[in-house]
Structure 1
Amino acid sequence: MSEFTELVDGIIHEPTQTAGHGLDLTVANIYVVETPGRVDFGGGELEDASVSPHEREKRNPDDDYEWWNLDAGTYLIEYNESLVGGTRVTVQPREAVLERGVSHPTIRVSSLPRVPLTVGGAGLKIKENARLSTVVDSAPTQNA
């Protein structure tokens, strides 16, 4: 059992997700950014970008899971898991992702936002529930 299992809700298969160092997070949805958002200094003009779910398809008609076929570009990923208890964790891309020319920023968060995923080169095929990221450390959230 990983030290992170008490901090993460929605784990799909604990033995697999905790087999290495940390706890792996799995992809629930991938989104395409359709129109730009806005970010300003004071927040009065902050505006969300519009996004739409990326298509996915089965490789074979009798498959249980579908795949996303991503071209080079940047997408937003949403995880199956969520964080509980207000603890800040560090989330980084898995080595398997990096070795395929794909990355996302390493983030320190107390809740899991959608994360930008940058796909390079010839693209990438991602199966539903694929492990893309890993929680690698934690610290209690401190009030300022």
Structure 2
Amino acid sequence: MTDDAATFLSGFVHEETQVDDGVVDLTLATVHRLDEGGAVDFGGDELAAAETTPIDTESRDGDDDYGWWNLDAGTYLVEHNERLDAENTTFSLQPRTELVERGATHPTLFVTELPALPLTVPEPGIALKENARISTLRSPIR
């Protein structure tokens, strides 16, 4: 089933590391701070996106190829590097255990594409490196 999931994805950071035995790990591309709340109505005429600001990464060492997001407690919007195009196939998207065990999480969803996700960060905060594997995409639900 892993091959099925991988065939619907593009934009892998390192496919050999991300694809394994029925699951695909998805990597962190961007983190946005929520500045203003959005709006959701019944019919969609008054639907409004939340206002966000991208957060820049910080280098821990001048020789680092990738930076870190040092996030304080709160809710952020995150996006993955990978793109899912599975119009008629539904996958389960969930936070990786490594993220949850550090107190951060995002919702588990059933998806045909990858939306921006709310990431909840605990009181002590969390450091996330660019391209960190934060989510798991599970094989199609049949």
TM normalised by structure 1 equals 0.91
SS at match of 1:5: helix
Change (3 A) 1:85 1:41: closer
SS at match of 2:46: coil
Structure 2 portions without partners, runs of 5+: none
Structure 1 portions without partners, runs of 5+: none
1:20 CA drift (Å): 5.6
Change (3 A) 1:25 1:40: same
1:84 CA drift (Å): 2.1
1:137 CA drift (Å): 2.6
Sequence identity percentage: 46
One-letter amino acid of the counterpart of residue 67, structure 1: W
Quick check: which one's helix share is greater?
2
Match of 1:97 in 2: 99
SS at match of 1:15: helix
Match of 1:68 in 2: 69
Q: For the aligned residues, what is the CA RMSD?
A: 1.5
CA distance in structure 1 between the partners assigned to 2:86 and 2:103 by the alignment: 34
Match of 1:15 in 2: 16
The Cα offsets for residues 86-134 of structure 1, whole Å up to 9 and x where unpaired, read as 2221100000000000110001111111000000120000000000000
Show structure 1 runs of 4+ deviating over 2 A: none
Moved more, 96-105 or 44-53: 44-53
Q: Answer yes or no: is the 8 Å Cα contact 2:84–2:114 preserved in 1.
A: yes
Moved more, 83-92 or 104-113: 83-92
